[in-house]
Amino acid sequence: MLSKKVEDALNAQINAELWSSYLYLSMSAHFAADGKAGFANWFRVQASEEKGHAMKLFDYIVSRSGKVDLQPITEVPKSWNSPLAVFEASLKHE
């Protein structure tokens, strides 16, 4: 059984990981719309990795008979001025 404090922290981290996934998916969509398939694919892979992190935490909470509490994901940016700006935003986020 998880303490409430640990459960809350893990749920907050799930939200952060899903937000990161959403951010990278937005970056992927930005590049896809700009015809940059390689960059789009790279960010799609990053989005999947972040979702995987969230699911590991999700499964851990469930395995400890805790309660997963999914919260709304804050809106992410949708466009950037240049490919460099996307990568700089990604680096800053990491």
pLDDT digit string, tens, across residues 1-33: 899 999 999 999 999 999 999 999 999 999 999
**Options 1.10.150.20, 2.160.10.10, 1.20.1260.10, 1.10.10.10; CATH of 4-93:** 1.20.1260.10
pLDDT tens figures, 67-79: 999 999 999 999 9
pLDDT at 94: 86
Q: How far apart are CA 69 and CA 80, in angstroms?
A: 32
CA distance 16 to 10: 10
Answer yes or no: pTM beyond 0.85.
Answer: yes
Residue 13 has what pLDDT? 98
Query: 15-34 burial, b for 16+ CB within 10 Å, e for fewer?
Result: bebbbbbbbbbbbbbbbeee
Domain boundaries of the chain, sorted by first residue: 4-93
